[in-house]
Amino acid sequence: MKTIRWGIIGCGNVTEVKSGPGFQKAQGSQLVAVMRRDAALAKDYAHRHGVPKWYANAQELIHDPEVDAVYIATPPDSHAVYTIAAARAGKPVYVEKPMALNSAECREMIAACRAAGTPLFVAYYRRALPRFLKAKELLDNGAIGEVRFVEILLTQPIETHPPGQLPWRLRPEIAGGGFFVDLASHTLDFLDFVLGPVNRVRGFARNQAGAYPAEDIVSGAFEFQNGVHAIGTWCFSSFETADRITFVGSNGQVTLSTFGNEPVQLETPTDTQAFDLPNPTHIQQPLIQQVVNELLGIESCVSTGASALRTTWVMDQLLRENTLS
C-alpha cells in the first residue's frame, strides 16, 4: 500500500493530541514534516513527536517533494491563503474548522482546489465519531419517527482576559467571530451531515457583556431543505454551562451533546435507551483515516470543502444582524 506523507502547517495545541498523532497512527499515513513560524517551537514539536522535518516557513513545507498532502492547523484568517498555495503546488489539503473567515473565502478555496484537481477536506471530525454516527443511525432508521425539529443550546460563563492578552478565538479579524464561530460550527456541520443542507436562516447576534470585541450571544432559527425546523441559542456570558442537541420526532427524541462524552439518549413513549460510545483518544483520527483512504482510492471522506462551505454560509447568515454593543 502507498503511504500518504503529510506536512502540518501550524503545529499548535490542537495538533498535540487531537489531530497530529492521528496522521502517524492512521493506516497508510505518515507525518513527515511540521511548520511553525517560531522555529524553536517547530523543532521542539518535531523532536517530541518523532517527525523527521521541521520548518519555519510554510512555503518550504508546501513545496517539499517528500510532502504529499498538507494539513493546515493555523487560525482561520490564514486558511484560505495556505489552502490556495497548497492547491497550486498540487497538494491535497485537510484544513481545520471553521473552513475560513466567511463563505466567500470558502468558495475561493474550493475554486483553487478544483482548478488544480486536488481534493479539499475540512476537519469536522464529528462526522466520523461513534457517538454522532449512532445518533445519525437512530434518526435514519426512524427510531423517533419523522424528525420534526431540532433544539440547540450551548451556554457557558463569561471568559475574561487582561488587556492585550485576548486569545485569537475572540478576535473576529482572526477567527471570523467569537466562540460562536469556533464552537457552533461543529454543531451546525453535524446537523448538515444528519439532515442535509439548510434552506433558510434568520439570526441575531449581539455582544451583551462587553468583555471582548466578538459577539457573545447568537440566537437563530433555520429550516432544512427536507422541511425540518431548528432553533438555537449560543450564549457565552451565562451563569450556567449547558451543551445539548435535541432531535424531536413524531414518536420520540434523541439527545446528545456536541462537546461532552456522555451517552446518546433515545426516548420514545414506551422506552428509554442510552448508548455509551466514548470518543477516541486522538479525536480526529477516524476522519483522518477517511481522508487518507480517499487519497488512496479506498473510500470517500464525508467532510469536504463543499459540505464545510454550507456550514460557514449558515454562520454568515446567523451573524448577519450582528450588534456588537
pLDDT surpassing 70 at residue 325 = no
How is the chain split into domains, by residue range? 4-125+283-303, 127-280+311-323
Q: How confident is the model at residue 29 (pLDDT cuts 50, 70, 90)?
A: very high
Q: Quick one: DSSP state of residue 14?
A: G
What CATH architecture does domain 127-280+311-323 belong to?
2-Layer Sandwich (3.30)
Distance, CA of 272 to CA of 290 (rounded, Å): 33
pLDDT surpassing 90 at residue 135 = yes
Instruction: Give tens-digit pLDDT for 108-119.
Output: 999 999 999 999
Residue keyed to cell 491535497: 92
Contact 53, 46 (CB under 8 A): yes
Mean pLDDT across the stretch 154-158?
98
Find out if CATH 3.30.1330.10 is the number for domain 4-125+283-303.
no
Sign of CA dihedral 63, 65, 66, 67: positive
The whole-number pLDDT of residue 322 equals 73
Mean pLDDT across the stretch 22-37?
98
Distance, CA of 43 to CA of 220 (rounded, Å): 44
Q: How many CB atoms lie within 10 A of CB 122?
A: 33
Q: Residue 245's beta-bridge partner residues?
A: 152, 256
Mean confidence (pLDDT) of the chain: 97
Higher model confidence: residue 322 or residue 315? 315
Please name which of 146, 93, 97 lies closest in space to residue 121, comparing C-alpha atoms.
93
Mean pLDDT across the stretch 312-324?
88
Q: What is the pTM of this model?
A: 0.96
Distance, CA of 320 to CA of 313 (rounded, Å): 10
Distance, CA of 143 to CA of 145 (rounded, Å): 6
pLDDT surpassing 80 at residue 1 = no
